[in-house]
């Protein structure tokens, strides 16, 4: 499997298993199956509510000799209620305890959005803290301390715009090495790709299949279904692969790390097989035409009346 190389030589497998929406009760089997199939990269976050179950699957897989901790790449993320510097280390320690590991390969600030520490998910504006009050630079120096303490090897961000990356690059001692963002043919983000390429920041594509199992409040009625796009379906048929495999392969051809989620053994296998597919320049050009700046994860859930966040200041668009 192709991997992405970090400045210190560490290699991150370009295809990993996404675990957002992988329900407790299902994710244990999915992770065990994935590791058996050959996945060596798992993308996690405490807000997905399943890290303890993933940790059990990891621990059992290690005990059964399926793989070893050293062979795996494990990412997790700092939730919005832990941006205050004193909360950052306890947050990673909780993820490490749940995942039953000593350190993470990569730890990301999940959103450029801060909550009061007692809030898991906000109900109103009073639960939110603006970035002027709790700046990303402050959270970032606490993230840097985690690297110094050996709790994670690499740090990065998620859902950051180019202006937010630029601001962070201006203050960081350890540069962010990853931005995990929504990326697929309907949201190709060419300016982000170019900026990250020229600043040695890797990209991870989340929702690469269009994330159609999002909870209903995160969906809109009129949304286009990526896996049913006629161009994607036709091109996949021409290659004798599935639409999902085409979408995963497209991300890999752009050198983005990609983390399709599945809890189904056949689809896990199919998705892993995407790493071996070759697309032509012409295929890539045809897919480039499909861009329509369509976010499935719009971020509008952070926008509440009287609160500090708007779609304009979230995405800086």
Residues found near ligand A2P in the complex (CB under 6 A): 18, 207-213, 227, 242, 244, 260-264, 267, 270-271
How far apart are the C-alpha atoms of 54 and 30, rounded to whole Å? Answer: 9
Two structure tokens written together for 130: 């603006």
Closest CA to 87 of 44, 117, 111, 119: 117
The smaller minimum CB distance to ligand A2P, of residues 128 and 226, is found at 226
The smaller minimum CB distance to ligand A2P, of residues 31 and 131, is found at 31
The smaller minimum CB distance to ligand A2P, of residues 156 and 210, is found at 210
The smaller minimum CB distance to ligand A2P, of residues 55 and 210, is found at 210
Give least dist CB 297 to ligand A2P, A: 9
Give least dist CB 248 to ligand A2P, A: 8
Closest CA to 248 of 205, 303, 186, 310: 205
Residue partners of 314: CB distance under 8 A and separation at least 6: 112, 113, 159, 161, 299, 302, 303
Give least dist CB 213 to ligand A2P, A: 3
Q: Assess whether 48 carries a catalytic annotation.
A: yes
CB 86: neighbour CB atoms within 10 A?
Answer: 9
Two structure tokens written together for 144: 């840097």
Give least dist CB 146 to ligand A2P, A: 27
**DSSP state, residue 164:** H
- Residue 63: Cβ-neighbour burial (10 angstroms; 0-12, 13-18, 19+): exposed
Catalytic residue among 28, 39, 48, 107: 48
Question: Which residues form the catalytic set?
Answer: 48
């Amino acid at each position: 499997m192709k991997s992405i190389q970090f400045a210190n030589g560490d290699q991150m497998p370009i295809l990993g298993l996404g675990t957002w929406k992988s329900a407790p009760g299902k994710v244990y089997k999915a992770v065990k199956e994935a590791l058996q199939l050959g996945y060596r990269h798992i993308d996690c976050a405490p807000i997905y509510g399943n890290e303890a179950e993933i940790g059990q699957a990891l621990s059992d897989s290690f005990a059964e000799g399926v793989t070893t901790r050293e062979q795996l790449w494990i990412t997790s993320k700092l939730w919005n209620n832990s941006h205050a510097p004193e909360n950052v280390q306890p947050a990673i320690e909780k993820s490490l305890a749940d995942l039953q590991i000593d350190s993470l390969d990569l730890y990301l600030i999940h959103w450029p959005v801060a909550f009061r520490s007692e809030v898991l998910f906000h109900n109103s504006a009073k639960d939110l803290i603006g970035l002027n009050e709790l700046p990303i630079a402050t959270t970032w120096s606490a993230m840097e301390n985690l690297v110094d303490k050996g709790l994670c090897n690499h740090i990065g961000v998620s859902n950051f715009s180019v202006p937010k990356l630029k601001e962070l690059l201006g203050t960081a001692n350890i540069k962010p090495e990853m931005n995990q963002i929504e990326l697929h043919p309907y949201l190709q983000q060419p300016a982000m790709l170019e900026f990250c390429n020229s600043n040695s920041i890797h990209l991870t594509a989340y929702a690469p299949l269009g994330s159609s199992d999002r909870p209903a409040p995160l969906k809109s009625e009129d949304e286009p279904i990526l896996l049913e796009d006629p161009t994607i379906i036709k091109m996949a048929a021409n290659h004798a692969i599935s639409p999902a495999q085409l979408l995963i392969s497209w991300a890999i051809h752009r050198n983005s790390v990609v983390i399709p989620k599945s809890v189904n053994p056949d689809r896990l296998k199919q998705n892993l097989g995407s790493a071996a597919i070759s697309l032509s320049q012409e295929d890539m050009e045809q897919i480039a035409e499909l861009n329509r700046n369509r976010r499935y994860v719009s971020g509008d859930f952070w926008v509440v009346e009287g609160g500090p966040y708007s779609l304009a200041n979230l995405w800086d668009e």
